[in-house]
């Protein structure tokens, strides 16, 4: 029996709403790649720049947030506008104003944050904090309203609700951290909030949303068995409760055995989830080469590597190279796990959405529908393969960069190539949908 929540495609936002986020996301990763290329070039050509010695250095904070806010959050917000409507059966409130506001605040906020971090301008930190908090607050409130008004209940919607609550916590702490960076003499600076912010951002906002969306997209796009119903119901809830306990305990008792045990339980929740995903992907009915499956498995392998290094970090076995190990783990988690999953999901979501909208433009004209490209031609397989190979190369060079800083230039160039290709792939599909809409309007003119 299929236990997945039935999807309702009568409530689909206008196609430009998710696509504006999907198109912008690669550009911020491209900027991060350019920043790494400049830093790597300076190091190779005689600069005394010390790279990747500590997670508190500004180049680490800058590149991390270009990827996490500029790329990861952009993709997730675009997907959220789409998934909430088809799973919950209702659009987010606010029409086109809300996505435009969220998009504007996120884009300008990340740009101001980057300029503030590079030039250490206090008022820009405050401006970036206001924009980012405002944009994500609008998203979280509207998302929670949409989920509460949903015409049905499902584990996916529950995971989304918990993810949006985590987003509220993350942005409250993140806004405070930006003010701490800008005005440390007034606000003060407590580094404990950084780990608190990371936990709620990566495990809560990102992790729980990916978990909830995967309950729908993995069986749907890969023709796998459904996730066990009890697993769907309880895994997000248990993960969220463990996150609450781990973040609070780590804030007050960092470095202690109880803190390590709580974070270990949180890791175990995601470990069990990763094993379940791997198991279902191996049971898919279509055993053809699939880039998204390879990216999912890359993510799960990175997660297992992250867990091993995290256990060793908690035990204090790395000694003087502790900071290097932390940075290496950050690459595994953010780029190896999260970016891999989102890159894989885009390989399915973009062609599916574009075909859905182009089919609607045909307005029941069977001849026009027959002329539409099939989904495997919308996003060309050869481009997806190139993207996957470049992604593996970027992951390898980013990890090597932490250990051998002289590789930074190569890592940056690899990132530039990877996300230039992703932007091209997405833009090509967006132009295809735009042309289909324009042609349908011309045909339907009386």
> pLDDT tens, 280-300?
999 888 777 789 999 999 999
Nearest to 159 by CA among 251, 270, 35: 270
Reported confidence tier of residue 2, pLDDT bands at 50, 70, 90? very low
**Tens digit of each residue's pLDDT (9 = 90 or more) over 333-385:** 999 999 999 999 999 888 888 888 787 777 666 666 666 777 777 888 899 99
Q: Is the pLDDT of residue 71 over 80?
A: yes
Q: Is 443 part of any domain?
A: no
Higher-confidence position of 32 and 86: 32
Higher-confidence position of 357 and 100: 100
Higher-confidence position of 324 and 151: 324
User: What pTM, to 2 d.p., does this model score?
Assistant: 0.91
pLDDT at 145: 87
CA–chain centroid gap for 283, Å, is 26
Average pLDDT on 257-277 reads 92
pLDDT at 68: 93
Cα–Cα distance, 140 to 328 (Å, whole number): 31
Of 8-22, 103-117, 170-184, 430-444, the one with minimum mean pLDDT is 430-444
Contact between residue 197 and residue 175 where contact means Cβ atoms under 8 Å apart: no
**Tens digit of each residue's pLDDT (9 = 90 or more) over 131-142:** 999 999 999 998
Cα–Cα distance, 383 to 385 (Å, whole number): 5
What CATH number corresponds to the domain at position 384? 1.20.210.10
Please give the tally of structural domains in the chain: 1
Q: Is 436 part of any domain?
A: no
Contact between residue 295 and residue 277 where contact means Cβ atoms under 8 Å apart: no
Q: Is the pLDDT of residue 86 over 60?
A: yes
Q: Is 441 part of any domain?
A: no
Q: Is the pLDDT of residue 390 over 60?
A: yes
φ, ψ at 95 (rounded to 5°): 60, -135
Measured CA distances, 210 to 72, 86, 163, 302, 339 (Å): 11, 16, 9, 15, 11
Nearest to 296 by CA among 391, 399, 374: 391
**CA dihedral for 153, 338, 297, 18, sign (positive or negative):** positive
Q: Is 439 part of any domain?
A: no
Q: Is 444 part of any domain?
A: no
pLDDT at 5: 55
Q: Is 147 part of any domain?
A: yes
Average pLDDT on 71-83 reads 89
pLDDT at 343: 94
pLDDT at 297: 94
Q: Is the pLDDT of residue 446 over 50?
A: no
What is the pLDDT of the chain when averaged over all its residues?
A: 86
Measured CA distances, 198 to 110, 361, 364 (Å): 17, 42, 48
User: SS in 3 state form for 214-238?
Assistant: HHHHHHHHHCCCCCCHHHHHHHHHH
Average pLDDT on 225-241 reads 93
**Tens digit of each residue's pLDDT (9 = 90 or more) over 168-192:** 999 999 888 888 877 877 777 777 8
Q: What is the DSSP string of 228-267?
A: PHHHHHHHHHHHHHHHHHHHHHHHHHTTSHHHHHHHHHHH
Q: Is 9 part of any domain?
A: no
pLDDT at 270: 94
Neighbours of 188 (CB within 10 A): 9
**Tens digit of each residue's pLDDT (9 = 90 or more) over 399-435:** 999 999 999 999 999 999 999 999 999 999 999 888 8
Q: Is 340 part of any domain?
A: yes
The residue length of the chain stands at 446
**Tens digit of each residue's pLDDT (9 = 90 or more) over 42-60:** 888 876 667 888 888 888 8
> 207 lies in which domain range?
16-430
Higher-confidence position of 122 and 426: 426
Q: Quick one: tokens of 339? A: 């970016």
């Amino acid at each position: 029996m299929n236990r997945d929540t039935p999807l309702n495609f009568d409530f689909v936002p206008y196609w430009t709403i998710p696509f504006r986020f999907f198109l912008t996301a690669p550009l911020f990763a491209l900027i991060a790649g350019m920043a790494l290329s400049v830093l790597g070039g300076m190091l190779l050509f005689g600069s005394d720049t010390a790279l990747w010695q500590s997670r508190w250095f500004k180049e680490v904070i800058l590149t991390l947030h270009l990827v996490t806010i500029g790329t990861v959050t952009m993709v997730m917000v675009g997907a959220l506008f789409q998934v909430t409507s088809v799973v919950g059966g209702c659009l987010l409130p606010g029409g086109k104003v809300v996505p435009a506001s969220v998009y504007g605040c996120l884009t300008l906020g990340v740009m101001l944050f980057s300029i503030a971090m590079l030039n250490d301008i206090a008022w820009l930190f405050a401006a970036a904090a206001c924009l980012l908090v405002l944009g994500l607050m609008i998203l979280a409130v509207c998302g929670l309203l949409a989920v509460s008004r949903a015409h049905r209940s499902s584990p996916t919607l529950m995971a989304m609700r918990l993810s949006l609550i985590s987003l509220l916590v993350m942005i409250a702490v993140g806004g405070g951290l930006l003010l701490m960076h800008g005005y440390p003499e007034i606000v003060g600076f407590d580094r404990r909030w950084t780990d608190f912010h990371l936990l709620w951002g990566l495990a809560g906002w990102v992790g729980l949303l990916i978990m909830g969306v995967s309950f729908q997209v993995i069986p749907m796009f890969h023709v796998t068995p459904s996730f066990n119903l009890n697993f769907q119901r309880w895994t997000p809830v248990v993960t969220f409760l463990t996150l609450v306990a781990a973040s609070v305990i780590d804030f007050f008792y960092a470095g202690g055995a109880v803190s390590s045990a709580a974070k270990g339980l949180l890791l175990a929740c995601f470990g069990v989830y990763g094993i379940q995903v791997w198991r279902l992907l191996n049971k898919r009915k279509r055993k053809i080469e699939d880039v998204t499956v390879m990216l999912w498995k890359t993510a799960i392998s990175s997660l297992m590597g992250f867990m091993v290094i995290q256990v060793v970090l908690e035990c204090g076995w790395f000694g003087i190279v502790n900071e290097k190990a932390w940075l290496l783990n950050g690459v595994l988690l953010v780029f190896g796990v999260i970016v891999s999953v989102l890159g894989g999901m885009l390989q399915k979501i973009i062609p599916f959405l574009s075909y859905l909208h182009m089919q609607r433009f045909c307005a029941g004209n069977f001849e026009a529908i027959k002329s539409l490209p099939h989904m495997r031609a919308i996003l060309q397989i050869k481009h997806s393969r190139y993207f996957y190979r470049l992604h593996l190369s970027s992951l390898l060079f980013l990890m090597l960069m932490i250990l051998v800083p002289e590789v930074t230039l190569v890592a940056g160039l690899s990132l530039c190539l990877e996300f230039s290709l992703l932007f091209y792939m997405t833009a090509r599909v967006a132009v295809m949908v735009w042309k289909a809409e324009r042609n349908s309007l011309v045909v339907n003119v009386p």
